[in-house]
Amino acid sequence: TRKLTVITGASSGLGLNCAATLAKTGRHFVVMACRDVEKGKRAAKEMGMPDDSYVVMKLELGSLQSVRDFVFNLKAFKSARPVNNLICNAAVYKPTDPEPAWTDDGFEQSMGINHFGHFLLVNLLVDDMAKAKGARCCIVGSITGNTNTVGGGLVYPQADLGTLSGFEKGAKKPVAMADGKPFFGAKAYKDSKVCNMMTVSELHRRYHESTGIAFSSMYPGCIAETSLFREKRPWFRKAFPWFMKYVTGGYVGMQEAGERLAQVVDDPQCTKSDVYWSWNGGAQQVGRWSPDGKPRGAGGSGGEIFENEQSDAVRDRETAKKMWELSVKACGMD
Ligand code: NDP
């Protein structure tokens, strides 16, 4: 029987390519959790996903009610069958907005969608996933949340949750930032990614032993062509893929990035919990894993997967615990 695999933000970019990769293996039935269901359906067709390999369901992460509704609908759809894999992939990035935009619940959107929406989603599904054998949960991270790498550390601004005084104040309008300081879009995204990665470690500490679920994060490489950069200027969208490809070497194509994310839930060797997966050797090299099980030849895709180090900021246990407790409050789970 096929694994039941849920992917958020599966209507474009990394999520879509991951969904298509998994669906085509024949080993997964994919639930594409999308804010725009029609867009998700069109995208699945364009990718040539077999008709009986997926379903598109509504999920607006900028609304905690929508998250709850999604879980309700998902449970009705799948009945007793547990969720085997949950991939939290959706995100927004708003580096050029001068003013914060807010979610239905009053969170600044990057933190609200990328972190709080997923935080509630995972928490609502943990019990269900515990019933599956070898369940896996991956929250997509980023080096931008990692202060010890070039992309995350040297490129201004840095992620910094401070003492979480913004979360302490409730994390809602007019409070825009986790540290309680004035809105700064590029930093809000990085802060949200740090929260994503801290959530993985906290999930591991709290639930791995009792549930057997493997919790992980991953950095897919820089997929410079996705819509994540839709708010950047045209010259940037042209120059950025080139820069990542030839200058930093961090560039990865969209399909290959999707295969990397798929690997985290499909490769029998990725069962370890509390891991931050990354790939070395760059894209387009010989890799061990491939969706069809046949090793790729030279020139094929697939850098080699490895367990990367978390940044000190992400490993800060005390802040992670506080982040968790304040997120529970902010999401009305207490
Ligand atoms: P995209 O913008 O292509 O994909 C983001 C997805 O999230 C889209 O499907 C989008 O839906 C969905 N989404 C956005 N807002 C919401 C919402 N409110 N509710 C539900 N879904 C929503 O970007 P990427 O594919 O690049 O990003 C995917 C992940 O990869 C993100 O977590 C990002 O942080 C991460 N990442 C990306 C990197 C890159 O270089 N691109 C590098 C490192 C990490 P819609 O299709 O309707 O717009």
Write out the chain's pLDDT in tens, 334 residues. 999 999 999 999 999 999 999 999 999 999 999 999 999 999 999 999 999 999 999 999 999 999 999 999 999 999 999 999 999 999 999 988 999 999 999 999 999 999 999 999 999 999 999 999 999 999 999 876 555 554 554 567 888 999 999 999 999 999 999 999 999 999 999 999 999 999 999 999 999 999 999 999 999 887 777 777 766 667 666 666 666 655 555 677 888 899 999 999 999 989 999 999 988 755 444 455 677 776 554 444 457 888 888 888 888 999 999 999 999 999 999 9
Looking at residue 299, its pLDDT comes to 40
CA 3 to chain centre: 19
Per the annotation, the verdict on 189 as an active-site residue is yes
Instruction: Ligand 1 pocket test: pick from 58, 94, 227 the residue with the most ligand atoms within 8 Å of its Cβ.
Output: 227
Output the CA 140–ligand 1 centroid distance in Å.
10
Instruction: Ligand 1 pocket test: pick from 7, 14, 121, 149 the residue with the most ligand atoms within 8 Å of its Cβ.
Output: 14
* Residue 218: other Cβ atoms inside 10 A: 29
Q: Which atom of ligand 1 is nearest to the CA of 88?
A: 32
- Check: pTM over 0.90? Answer yes or no: yes
β-pairing verdict for 54-58 and 136-140: unpaired
Ligand 1 atom 39: residue of nearest CA: 223
Output the CA 209–ligand 1 centroid distance in Å.
30
Output the CA 13–ligand 1 centroid distance in Å.
7
Output the CA 322–ligand 1 centroid distance in Å.
26
Q: What is the ipTM of this complex?
A: 0.98
Residue type, 179: D
Which residue, 269, 282, 267, 278, is CA-closest to 218? 278
Cβ < 6 A, ligand 1 pocket = 8-9, 11-15, 35-36, 39, 59-62, 89-92, 113, 140, 142, 219-220, 222-224, 226-228
Q: Which atom of ligand 1 is nearest to the CA of 141?
A: 44
| Cis, peptide link before residue 174, omega less than 30° from 0 | yes
Looking at residue 303, its pLDDT comes to 72
Output the CA 228–ligand 1 centroid distance in Å.
6
Looking at residue 247, its pLDDT comes to 54
Looking at residue 243, its pLDDT comes to 60
Torsion of CA 301, 306, 312, 317, to 10 degrees: 120
Q: Which atom of ligand 1 is nearest to the CA of 109?
A: 18
Q: What is the 3-state secondary structure (H, E, C) of the chain?
A: CCEEEEEECCCCHHHHHHHHHHHHHCCEEEEEEECCHHHHHHHHHHCCCCHHHEEEEECCCCCHHHHHHHHHHHHHHHCCCCCCEEEECCCCCCCCCCCCCECCCCCEHHHHHHHHHHHHHHHHHHHHHHCCCCCEEEEECCHHHCCCCHHHHHCCCCCCCCCCHHHHCCCCCCCCCCCCCCCCHHHHHHHHHHHHHHHHHHHHHHHHHHHCCEEEEECCCECCCCHHHCCCCHHHHHHHHHHHHHHHCCECCHHHHHHHHHHHHHCCCCCCCCEEEEEECCCCCCCCCCCCCCCCCCCCCCCEEEEECCCHHHHCHHHHHHHHHHHHHHCCCC
Ligand 1 atom 33: residue of nearest CA: 91
Options 54, 93, 156, 189, the catalytic residue: 189
Q: Which atom of ligand 1 is nearest to the CA of 61?
A: 19
Output the CA 19–ligand 1 centroid distance in Å.
13
Instruction: Ligand 1 pocket test: pick from 119, 228, 230, 255 the residue with the most ligand atoms within 8 Å of its Cβ.
Output: 228
Output the CA 89–ligand 1 centroid distance in Å.
6
- Domains identified in the chain and CATH numbers: 3-330 (3.40.50.720)
Looking at residue 291, its pLDDT comes to 77
Residues 6+ apart with CB under 8 A from 13: 223, 226, 227, 228, 254
